[in-house]
Amino acid sequence: MMTPDSIRAFLDDNPHVFERFEREALRVIRRGFNHYSAYTITEVLRHESAMRADPDYIYKVNNNIIPTLSRDFMDAHPEVPERFFEQRTASVTRKNQPFTLEG
């Protein structure tokens, strides 16, 4: 499981991940969308990398970094509508405890 520190370290070591995410999010905004899925953008990036001519380069991104990508994007682009990406606060407890999403 990725921790907040390991997610930040991954993104710091792989700035191209955020750059590609940012480019796709801006494309979606230019098309007129006011709300979109960060998960969908990440899946598009995965698909495009799988279709590249070089099969040794595949875009591998753990789903746990998607919320950080979307928050970083929103921080970098305050001009984007506040609810473009839905931001949730996760509340997770230990064994046999329920998982809830707040927000």
pLDDT number for residue 96: 47
CB 88 within 8 A of CB 103: yes
* Residue 2 DSSP SS3: coil
Q: Write down the pLDDT at residue 55.
A: 65
Strand, coil or helix: what is 27? helix
The values of phi and psi at residue 47, to 5°, are -65, -45
Q: pLDDT value at position 62?
A: 85
Contact 45, 59 (CB under 8 A): yes
pLDDT at 99 (0 to 100): 44
Model pLDDT, residue 56: 64
Strand residue runs (E) in the chain: 89-91, 100-102
Domain spans, the chain: 4-102
Residues of the chain with pLDDT under 50: 91-103
Cα torsion 4, 83, 75, 46: sign: positive
- What is the phi/psi pair of residue 97, to 5°? -105, 150
Q: Encoding tokens for residue 23? A: 């480019």
